[in-house]
Amino acid sequence: MSTAAERSGQPARSGEAVLPGPEVSLWEQMLSPGNLSRALRRVEANRGAPGADGMTTGELRPWLHEHWAQVRAALDAGTYQPSPVRRVVIPKPGGGERLLGVPTCLDRLVQQAIAQMLTPIFDPQFSPSSFGFRPGRSAHQAVQAARACIQDGREWVVDIDLDRFFDRVQFDALMARVARKVDDRRILRLIRSYLEAGVMVGGVKQATVEGTPQGGLCSAEHKEPYEQGRVMRSAGLLALVRAMPGIEHCA
């Protein structure tokens, strides 16, 4: 597995994953007891609504005591099938609707475990002007950066929104870019299986051929740009962002 040559200027929070050593595969790092324990604590702390199976975060830990051995065996065998996400529709403040996808608690755990391994690999490549959903960075820092821009005499603010960006992510393009940094095929297959897990709408499973549902743990855990190769973390599964050279931004 190749890794970035430089680390982010902002240290990760205590307890977050660190760059895996070369002697242990990324897959084993992802499924290590320490990484899974951190992932479980994060899922429990985030709470959130149940997915398609109705399991709550409070029920997850007892369920794992009884069933984790079978889940781990399925993961290692490559037969694990993520559940489809539960469709939730919420109104947008400016009009229209936003489609969310709520994963099951078990899938949130696995996604979080993946995210903790991928963040140290991709985060160092982010723009220093990017503050959203990154370890060691906050909205307060973004405000400070904006104030510095004002003090430097910058007068223009450009607000850009990519219409239905998450809904139009191309799976092949995304996976090709993730594979530039991650060569563990088991991790790549698992990520792909989440992209293709489908959506439950009114009790009926619908196939997904493009797009990543907003609402899970990894939706931006890959906002890998089509052209510049930068990955960001937010929610859903993985999503691409087209970088625009020459435009400084605070995110």
User: What pLDDT digit, counting tens, does each position of 76-123 carry?
Assistant: 999 999 999 998 888 888 777 888 889 999 999 999 999 999 999 988
User: What pLDDT digit, counting tens, does each position of 189-247 carry?
Assistant: 999 999 999 999 888 898 988 878 776 554 545 443 333 333 333 333 333 333 333 33
pLDDT value at 24 more than 70 = yes
The CB-side HSE value for 120 (13 A sphere, CA atoms) comes to 19
| Partners of 97 in the β-ladder | 91
Q: What pLDDT score does 95 carry?
A: 79
Q: What Rg value do the Cα atoms of the chain yield, rounded?
A: 18
Q: Provide the whole-model pTM.
A: 0.74
* CA-to-CA dists, residue 104 to 16, 86, 188, 199, 213, angstroms: 23, 8, 20, 12, 13
Residue with tokens 């479980």: 40
